[in-house]
Amino acid sequence: MDYAIDLIRDIEKKWHAKWTEMQLYKVVEDTSRPKYYVLDMFPYPSGSGLHVGHPLGYVASDIFSRYKRLRGFNVLHPMGFDAFGLPAEQYAIETGQHPAETTKKNIAYFREQLMRMGFSYDWTREVKTSDPKFYKWTQWIFMQLFKCWYNPYTNKAEYLNSLIAILEQEGSTKLFILDKCATSISADDWKQLSEKEQQQFLMQFRLAYLAYADVWWCEVLGTVLANDEVKDGVSERGGHPVEKIKMRQWFLRITNYAERLLEGLERVDFSDSMKEMQRNWIGKSEGALVNFSLANGDGSIQIFTTRPDTIFGASFMVLAPEHHLVEKITTKDQKIDVELYVSYVKSRSERDRISEVKKVSGQFTGAFAINPFSGKQIPIYIAEYVLAGYGTGAIMAVPSNDDRDRAFAEKYDIEIIEVVDQGAYPNAEREDKVGKIINSDFLNGLEVKNAIQKIITEIENKSIGKRKINFRLRDAGYSRQRYWGEPFPVYYKDEIPYLLDEKDLPVILPEVETYKPSGAGKSPLSSLTEWVNLPDGTTRETDTMPGYAGSSWYFYRYMDVDNTEAFASTEKIKYWKDVDMYIGGTEHAVGHLLYSRMWNKFLYDLNLVEVDEPYKKLVNQGMIQGFSKIVYRVSGTNLFVTKGEKHKYEVTELRVDIKLVDGDELDIEKFKMWRNDFADAEFILEDGKFICGSELEKMSKSKHNVVNPDEVIDTYGADCFRIYEMFLGPIDAGKPWDTKGITGVYGFLRKLWRLFVDENGDLKITNDKATAVELKILHKTLKKASEDIERLSFNTAVSAFMICVNELGAAMCYKQEILEKFLITVAPFAPFITDELWQKMGNSGSIHTAVWPEYNPEYLVENSFNYPVSINGKARANIELPIDMPIDEIERQVMALESVLKWTEGKTPKKVIIVKGKIVNVVV
RNA sequence: GCCCGGGUGGUGAAAUUGGUAGACAUACCAGCUUGAGGGGCUGGCGCCCGCAAGGGUGUGCAAGUUCGAAUCUUGUCCCGGGCACCA
């Protein structure tokens, strides 16, 4: 019987049923075995199903889980769904279908696809973030964040009573000095405050707090937009104008964990690039806060600088256009221009603002400040390159040592004072912190490093500022004016937020009539007056939580998925502890991974979890890209033009579903049926064909380039698909999807099958003793496969198996002694075939609980080795030497060889270079 | 723009610690096998010269370190990912 798709389907079906019946992958806590937790980043269940990019990481984690099981570990390998999110909501707005319905349908499809691929998940532990049983605990953790502050003395999160005790005893003076509090009040002051004032005061400490922040607002759509939904300053849908408006929202005080998030990176096994990305995101910089007095004597402006040493060169100041002092300091003459500039900046995204390097822009406010050291009057500008959210939202501009300040000064004709002589560092950039200070009074002659220390001391002596460590990291926005997310367990009384009682959890997401935002950009929930207004006259929070809320802690829920008393029990957390191997995409480097690390540290501070870093090892899978197909529409018409003729027209590009395209040729009939508005489309062809353009990019539904794995599995089976995805290349490399090489993998599986099954479908296994050659082939493969799987190099492991099958095939070997061990090692890659055969071969039990065979080095011993020797990198010859020859003997051999070949023309070698016992070169 | 990766045959790639570059596949070419094929087998396959043996050259480009560089250093070009409300 040949290994063909009918047979494969039978085997897959049979073993699926058997796995479910046996509950083979159900895992229970077992203290007698070491635990191992292999976690996948759970998917967002989109409408188009899994695409071929998802399984890349899932196949890898499954292979690794199966491998660890064979190695005797008790492996937790769960799967779930990140089910709240914007796409389901948008779909609901368009079609009126409840997001819960579409999400449920999508999850069912995803689960079915994941099962088809033969993953060894314990499905009894599945989580869904949109399930009230799950989000009850998301809400619960939020409540703890609200109830806690970050105690700078103990350096951890604590409940507010420890803060209140401090305030009652000594007021906030010390906390103010520590920069943890905006105002300094005495204990008596605190006691005098009304309930409302006290609550407002406490808000500046809570780890979940309310504040005002910018959001993108689109008047025409009547909704708040995500950055992703804003393209080129207009809404992506409809192209309507957008602007930033202030809105009161929830935030998580992640900045309080900045130092610990940075420090924790030292203790985890992430790639260097991943750590680097997180470090940059946190963006720690040391510098100083300095106050610049206004020239009119009316107050001062505080700036943050990392280069206080260049203060003598500060010849102007720049405020962020949103800075709260802009309105106050602007003079009458400049008022109109300043307002115009501010409204221009409102339409600009942060990225656009800081990306602009060719042309800086800004506006003079008419006001002046005094440089506290040079005493000069300097003009105050506003400019988009200064962001309100970074530092203090204001800078002292030093054209001599900052490129943008330089460009700005040149454009607006402002004085440039050179304050650092970098002559001694010919390769130094303007912004590098090296050189000797000049033109700076008492700093003259100092190296930059020393000057920074001296000037900060001087700034502190003059009481005009202080040393400051600044982070680029900002507190995380935690409100969304959306429907499809977790409701907050919060109500308002007299504008002040309070928590609902824990016994009222979960706060169930109520049904709504429409998923469109209700007036003024509020969440759809705000239209539910009955739900919003509570009987006692208080009102509910109507925003919902963001997508990352559930994903910040979901990995704990897998440990104890049905617990109704806690997010997970203490015993189970003690056993599973942390994630040993976490696999997912780099796109989560700074979002999810930073948030969940913070949540984990918070839970750790409250003694609710075992470790303060949740992920021991992180592996990033690359992104599989797809070819998008593009048709060209003559602008403003329903006429489409083939690629070869498009240069004759003014065209707009349109991505079409890749299913409508064969090779590069568009199927016109299918295209007409694809969307109603194309039904009467007309076409300009070349050679009777309509040829599409093509572009390689990230697979996404909106680009219509998603390749679904179902088709591949239908044709070749799940094992072939799994192995092919691994064979494609290293898991951390991104690559375009194509199935060109899949026949090679299919051929490998077929050859593997034929090693022990004949044409009639009968086993042809014997108990004959294996030969030395066969044992060597086997043990070479065992060694290579073990090493490769340990280092997650699955592509080379697959190659090793292919070589083994080729070599065994040539030896016509189908001896049980060999085959058994070989099959166990292939099992993580090809679970269906091997389990089937395992039973047929007369082994009781499942191959998935077998024991991984160790290789025996004795079979691999070579008794001699060949190695090339070269003389001064020129002549070459092979020298054959026994494997265990001592090095001095090797040197003698080489000299003998040389005298024979006369390479050295009678000279003795000066140096014999030996690497790992092998001669690699001889120098004469 | 900033941050992080990556450039090796027609293609996907391998080379684990600086030590014989191109394993393993695929595509292609030639041959054998088959009534037929998404079948099986054998051989060839970086580029240049050569019937061959062999020689030269070769890891985006340009330099450098080294007896020796795909690998380390510097510069440069190109491609991918992220950039705070996509998840």
Distance CA A742 to C1' B24 in A = 13
CA atoms of A197 and A203, how far apart (whole Å): 10
- A224-259 pLDDT tens trace: 777 767 766 677 666 777 878 888 889 999 999 999
CA atoms of A455 and A311, how far apart (whole Å): 9
Nucleotide nearest to A356 (CA to C1'): B1
CA atoms of A838 and A42, how far apart (whole Å): 32
Interior/surface letters A318-332, b for 16+ CB within 10 angstroms, e for the rest: bbbbbbebbeebbee
Task: Output the pLDDT for position A734.
Answer: 74
Distance CA A782 to C1' B31 in A = 36
Nucleotide nearest to A543 (CA to C1'): B85
∠ CA A592-A596-A599, rounded to 5°: 145
Distance CA A781 to C1' B43 in A = 27
Residue spans of chain A under pLDDT 70: 1, 228, 231-233, 236-238, 355-358, 425-428, 519, 662-664, 694-697, 701-702, 812-813, 862-888, 890-891, 893-924
- Residue with CA nearest to B23's C1' atom: A799
Nucleotide nearest to A89 (CA to C1'): B86
Tokens 């027209």 locate to: A649
Distance CA A896 to C1' B49 in A = 36
Tokens 């001391």 locate to: A457
Tokens 């800081």 locate to: A354
- Residue with CA nearest to B68's C1' atom: A873
Nearest to A657 by CA among A625, A716, A712, A699: A699
Task: Output the pLDDT for position A506.
Answer: 92
SS3 assignment, position A865: strand
Nucleotide nearest to A696 (CA to C1'): B80
Distance CA A802 to C1' B44 in A = 21
ipTM for this model = 0.91
CA atoms of A484 and A84, how far apart (whole Å): 6
Nucleotide nearest to A728 (CA to C1'): B12
Task: Output the pLDDT for position A166.
Answer: 93
Strand B bases, protein C-beta under 7 A: 1, 3-6, 10-20, 23-27, 38-42, 67-68, 80-87
Estimate the crossing angle of helix A794-810 against helix A816-826, to 10 degrees.
160
Tokens representing A911 are 């140096």
CA atoms of A126 and A317, how far apart (whole Å): 56
- Residue with CA nearest to B15's C1' atom: A796
Task: Output the pLDDT for position A20.
Answer: 85
SS3 assignment, position A829: coil
- Please tell me the pTM assigned to this model: 0.88
Distance CA A729 to C1' B76 in A = 28
Tokens representing A705 are 């380039």
Chain mean position to CA A764:
49
The burial of A447, by beta-carbon neighbours within 10 Å (0-12 exposed, 13-18 middle, 19 or more buried), is given as middle
CA atoms of A898 and A485, how far apart (whole Å): 78
What is each CA distance from A59 to A72, A719, A724, A750, A819, in whole angstroms? 20, 10, 10, 21, 24
Distance CA A904 to C1' B56 in A = 24
CA atoms of A781 and A804, how far apart (whole Å): 6
- A678-719 pLDDT tens trace: 888 888 887 777 777 766 667 776 677 777 788 888 889 999
What is each CA distance from A218 to A232, A350, A479, A480, A517, in whole angstroms? 14, 17, 17, 15, 11
Distance CA A744 to C1' B33 in A = 21
Distance CA A277 to C1' B82 in A = 9
Task: Output the pLDDT for position A342.
Answer: 87
- Give, as one character, the DSSP assignment of residue A249: E
- Amino acid at site A225: L
Tokens representing A777 are 């082939």
Tokens representing A11 are 């085997």
CA atoms of A56 and A624, how far apart (whole Å): 8
- Residue with CA nearest to B74's C1' atom: A427
CA atoms of A745 and A767, how far apart (whole Å): 29
CA atoms of A209 and A251, how far apart (whole Å): 5
Nucleotide nearest to A4 (CA to C1'): B38
